[in-house]
A and B are shown apart, each in its own frame.
Chain A
Amino acid sequence: MDRHSELHRRERRRYVIGYGSSLLLTLAMFATVHWFGIETRGVYLTIGLLGLAQLIVQLVYFLHIDRRRSSREDLDLVLFSTLVLLIIIGGTVWILGNLAMRMHMPVV
């Protein structure tokens, strides 16, 4: 019974840590925009990195994706989907950006 509640406490702490760090990253994101404006590439790069960090925090602390051997196959599933996604998004942006350039349209 004691071990039971000990495990419970530990797992709950995982969720609270995940929540706390996500909260901090969200606040950092909005604070960056508030203080530095949103015009420059440097600011947007910072925001993008903060968003990426929050994705990883939530995958680890909320969805329990990690490198433990027993869940390796599921990690493979997530990583493969991410690869497909990067090819789709990267390819779309690349091809359409190239098209816009050759058509003499403004490029993002």
Chain B
Amino acid sequence: MKPAPTHSYPGLNLGRRHAGAHKATEVVTFGFWVFLMSDLVYFGLMFGVYITMIDAQAGGPGPHELFDLYSIFAQTLILLTSSLTVGLAMLALKYNLPRGRIVLWFAVTLLLGLSFLVLEIRDFMSMADKGGIPQRSGFLSAFYGLVPLHGLHVAAGCVWLVVLGIQLRVMGMTDLVVSRMVRLALFWHFLDLIWIGIITIVYFGGLTYG
């Protein structure tokens, strides 16, 4: 009883039951990983800039005045849960569960992604109310270069989910649509990884050294 007979790309493999989609997915998924890793390098640069800018507050508001840890905690839980629901959607896809189940898990993921964005935008607005705007200091420029970049990725993921929902309705469960779902799931898990970096370095690091 060995799990997953064919494992040819990182992430959840669809396996033999989706032979067509599996083949179509193999090459593009590797390419998508290359994209994710280059995106990771981009995020890494922004992290590097942030770390060097922590002290450059120019007398403006700093982490202790601006960061709301309760909201960050809620956002962390929401994003983590959405990572689980996207995984459950992939399993429903892999094991040929009724299509309604797949759509349900994707819909829950979309809902969680949107609530994450609402909380994040509320945070930015309350930061701006306290004078924490990007042009105030190097620290704030670096902050707004990094954290909303992640939020933009989440927003893109939400748009992607909606588009996939429409494609699923119009085109049905074709190999192409299935292979796009696989990549969306990878993208979504990747965003949660970046978020862990953000809470560790941007929020807790900022509060410790800022």
Contacts and interface: CB of A to CB of B under 8 A. Distances in A.
A26 B76 contact: yes
Contacts of B88: 12, 15
Contacts of B77: 23, 26
A30 to B, nearest CB: 5
Interface in A22-62: 22-23, 26, 29-30, 33, 38-41, 43-44, 47-48, 51, 54-55, 58-59, 62
B9 A74 contact: yes
Interface string A64-86: 11001011001101100100110
B95 A38 contact: no
Given A71-B7, A108-B54, A62 B87 contact: yes
Nearest to B51: A93
Given A26-B76, A47-B204, A64 B48 contact: no
Nearest to B198: A51
Interface string B128-145: 000000000000000000
18 contacts: A11-B12, A11-B94, A22-B80, A26-B77, A29-B204, A33-B207, A51-B197, A54-B196, A55-B196, A58-B196, A63-B11, A65-B10, A74-B9, A74-B30, A77-B37, A85-B40, A105-B55, A108-B55
Given A11-B3, A77-B34, A108-B209, 17 more contacts: A6-B1, A7-B3, A18-B87, A19-B81, A33-B207, A54-B196, A55-B197, A58-B189, A58-B196, A63-B190, A71-B9, A74-B10, A88-B41, A89-B44, A92-B51, A93-B48, A107-B55
